[in-house]
Chain A
Amino acid sequence: MNWLAIFGAGLLAGATTCAVAQGGLLVGLINRQKRAADEAGVGEVGAGTKSSVADDLVPVGGFLVGKLVILVVAGVLLGALGSYFALDARIGGFAQLLAAAVMIMLGLGAAGVAGFRDIQFTPPESWTKVVRKSTRSQSAFAPFLLGLATVLIPCGVTISIMLLAATAGSAAAGGAVMGVFVLGTVPMFAAYGLLAQRYVSPDNRVMSVVLGVVIVLMGLVTLNASLTALGSPVTAQTVAASMTGSRSAPASAVPAPAPENGVQVLRIDALSGGYSPQMISAKAGVPTKVVFHTDHTRSCIVDTVFPSLGKQVVLPDSGDTEIDLGILAAGEIPISCSMGMYSGTITVS
């Protein structure tokens, strides 16, 4: 997971998307509460509607905490849902493929590409009423509640990040994706919404285009992960390997081991960061087993699939797990984690 890219997307989103409009809603809420306090004579003598930045830190902080809490919760739920679907590698792969397609379309929309920019999520009126009620509330908790309510009115970019959370591989990773994104929006949100003390148009074309490109790139990475999980022969890795010729070089793959009692045993370390070796050779026509060695492995690699063989195995975080592949025919057998983030290949010849 590229956390820097997610934070960067948040940083750009804070100045260009729904975050800006939501900043406007918060500014309106704060101003209404100040006016009501002045009219009720609650404010100190001579305080008027003037206030320091420090006075606004509390409602702005409350709003951001509310938004962070609700979107992290949403990310946890989406991550859990995504990892549930990934229990079946094929369903998980197709769900990822769908998510990638939507992300790419929303990214193109954010960048202003004709034919995509009108793709918008329109929430039901009952949801927008909840948001509008929050902006008119005089409660001290109103900014926090408004922050919570923003989950009901996500823009295309936020929806893209939600899809990314759904394909993150676990509930914790999904929550982290949304958390990093929201934290990324904070600096610009503070600069525009808090310091400017006014409404700012979210119509910033340059930043929108850059943000759209970032979202499209994230969509392409997700697309590649889905192709990997589905065992597609065409992925970024295979294309890059064929372009550099690394796949055809015999030295790039670990040689086939000598059979033990008539069975060739391929030993592969399944570590948190990937398979080692990533490419291993095997002899065709020989009974074959793979032994995955895990050592405190904590990533989606513990859910490993052989898409072309229709085999899937859940590995322990530490230990050796043996899988019987039977007698293999010549060809390439891709190995992948269920989310398509890590891949390897057994070359049978």
Chain B
Amino acid sequence: MPQRAIEIDIAGMHCASCSILVDDCVEDVPGVLSSRTNLKSGRCVAVVNESVTDDQVLAAVVEAGYTGLVVGV
């Protein structure tokens, strides 16, 4: 299945636990292959199947308790 990367700027992270929580929630979305969130830059890069929408990934970020903005696909 074709894959793509989604880049999201995340606001509200304070510590390493926050970035791990974001990755945890994003990777729970069916079709997300991996998620890596950088605490310093506040950016999450998720590799997903083509079937996964930006909104699904953003919803996972919001569910984790943060706000996000898709900045690159």
**Identity of the chain A residue whose Cβ is nearest the Cβ of B64 in the assembled complex:** A199
Nearest Cβ distance between residue A9 and chain B, in whole angstroms? Answer: 15
Say whether A18 contacts B65, CB under 8 Å: no
A201-B65 in contact given A120-B14, A122-B39, A122-B40 (Cβ < 8 Å): yes
Say whether A155 contacts B40, CB under 8 Å: no
Interface residues of A in 97-148 (CB under 8 A from B): 120-123, 128, 131-132, 135
Say whether B65 contacts A24, CB under 8 Å: yes
Q: Which residues of A contact B66 (CB under 8 A)?
A: 201, 203
Q: Which residue of B17, B19, B28, B40 is within 8 Å of A22 (Cβ)?
A: B17
Interface residues of B in 1-59 (CB under 8 A from A): 12, 14-21, 23-25, 28, 39-40
Q: Which residue of A17, A200, A201 is within 8 Å of B15 (Cβ)?
A: A17
CA gap between A198 and B64 in the complex, in Å: 9
Say whether A28 contacts B15, CB under 8 Å: no
Interface flag for A313 (CB, 8 Å): no
Say whether A155 contacts B39, CB under 8 Å: no
**What total count of A-B pairs have CB within 8 Å?**
84
Most buried by A among B12, B17, B19, B28: B17
Say whether B25 contacts A28, CB under 8 Å: yes
Interface residues of A in 3-28 (CB under 8 A from B): 17-18, 20-22, 24-25, 28
CA gap between A24 and B16 in the complex, in Å: 13
Say whether B40 contacts A200, CB under 8 Å: no
Q: Which residues of A contact B18 (CB under 8 A)?
A: 18, 21, 202
A122-B65 in contact given A28-B25, A132-B23 (Cβ < 8 Å): no
Say whether B16 contacts A122, CB under 8 Å: yes
Most buried by A among B14, B28, B65: B14
**Identity of the chain A residue whose Cβ is nearest the Cβ of B23 in the assembled complex:** A132
Q: Which residues of A contact B63 (CB under 8 A)?
A: 198-199
**Identity of the chain B residue whose Cβ is nearest the Cβ of A28 in the assembled complex:** B24
CA gap between A20 and B17 in the complex, in Å: 9
**Identity of the chain A residue whose Cβ is nearest the Cβ of B11 in the assembled complex:** A203
Say whether A25 contacts B65, CB under 8 Å: no
CA gap between A199 and B39 in the complex, in Å: 19
CA gap between A32 and B25 in the complex, in Å: 11
Interface residues of A in 21-77 (CB under 8 A from B): 21-22, 24-25, 28, 32
30 A-B residue pairs with Cβ-Cβ distance under 8 Å, sorted by A, are A18-B14, A18-B16, A18-B17, A20-B65, A21-B14, A21-B20, A21-B21, A21-B65, A24-B17, A24-B64, A25-B24, A120-B15, A120-B16, A122-B40, A128-B16, A128-B19, A131-B20, A132-B23, A150-B17, A153-B16, A154-B16, A155-B17, A156-B14, A156-B15, A199-B21, A199-B63, A201-B12, A202-B14, A202-B18, A203-B66
A-B pairs with lowest CB-CB distance, top 9? A201-B65, A155-B15, A21-B17, A153-B16, A18-B17, A203-B12, A24-B21, A18-B15, A21-B18
Q: Could you list which residues of chain B lie within 8 angstroms of chain A, going by C-beta atoms?
A: 12, 14-21, 23-25, 28, 39-40, 63-66
